[in-house]
Structures are given as structure tokens and as C-alpha cells.
Structure 1
Amino acid sequence: MATKVSLQMDFLTDQNKKVRITVQNPVQPLDNSAVNNVMDLIVAKGIFAFPQGLIVKKVGATEVQTDSTAIV
């Protein structure tokens, strides 16, 4: 069985739209404080622009683990 891990960070834009930034294979174990600080930095620096607008607020982050098993 193979397990894949990703970090999904959700934000709101200046147009009140939700956007998500996904990081594949983040360094484990995830540090809540570090993720929170990075999200604050993304909001403060305005380094990502989306068709939905500029990021203005963090919403939350989720660690997603996906298990897969070969059948054949």
C-alpha cells in the first residue's frame, strides 16, 4: 500500500472567493506553527494572484493522506 500526503491551504480573496494552494509531499511531520506562519506570510506579502482575486485572509489548512493499493 502506498500513502501520498499533501498539505491543502485554503484562503479567501478580495473578491470573497475561496482559493486553495496544495503542496505535494510536505516535510513530515507537519508543524502547525510553521504552517500557520507560512500562511500568514502568503497573506501579508500578496505573492499569489488568482483569477478569483488577491489573497487577503487565511481560512485553514488540512493534511490529506491518500492510501492506494494495487489490485492487479
Structure 2
Amino acid sequence: MAKTLQLQFTTTGGSTSSMTIDTPVEPVNASAVEQAMNAIIASDVFAAATGSLVAIKGASLIDREVTEIL
């Protein structure tokens, strides 16, 4: 099973921008994720087509199972 951590931010244009982290350290600590997201916003080094990241919208741990058939 492949796990990813998806971080969602609100941009200055009001849209949602996401970034995905492959194989996050588990167990995922919500407080650490929130601190990291706030640091990303404060650093202002990432921008989407709709503007800079300005607020946390959410974070999700996604667990996906892939079965190759060929």
C-alpha cells in the first residue's frame, strides 16, 4: 500500500493549492503537520497560478492499494 500526505492551502486568489508528500513518517503527527504548513506559508517560497499560499485548508493521509495486472 502506498501512502501519501496531501497538504491543502488557500491562495490569495481564493483557490486551493495542494502539495503531496510520498511515504510520510508514521504515525503522522497533526501538530507537526500544522507547524510545517505554517512554516511553508510564512516562507512564501511556493506560489500557485492563483497567488501565494495564505492559509491552511486541510491535510489528508491517503492510503492507496495498487494491484498491477500486467
TM-score (norm 2): 0.90
Residue 19 (str. 1) matches residue 17 (str. 2): yes
How far the C-alpha of 1:52 sits from its partner, in A, is: 1.6
TM-score (norm 1): 0.88
SS for the counterpart of 2:31 is: helix
Alignment-mate amino acid for residue 50 of structure 1: A
**What does residue 9 of structure 1 align with?**
7
Alpha-carbon RMSD:
1.2
How far the C-alpha of 1:71 sits from its partner, in A, is: 4.1
Alignment-mate amino acid for residue 32 of structure 2: A
How far the C-alpha of 1:50 sits from its partner, in A, is: 1.5
The answer to which of 28-37 and 3-12 deviates more is 28-37
How many angstroms apart in 2 are the aligned matches of 1:11 and 1:29?
Answer: 22
Which of 36, 49, 70 is residue 34 of structure 2 equivalent to? Answer: 36
Alignment: residue pair count: 70
Rg bigger for which structure?
A: 1
Q: Which consecutive residues of structure 2, in runs of 5 or more, have no partner in the other structure?
A: none
Identity %: 31
Deviation string 1:12-63 (CA, Å, 9 cap, x unpaired) is: 1111111001111111111111101001111111120111210001101000
**What does residue 53 of structure 2 align with?**
55
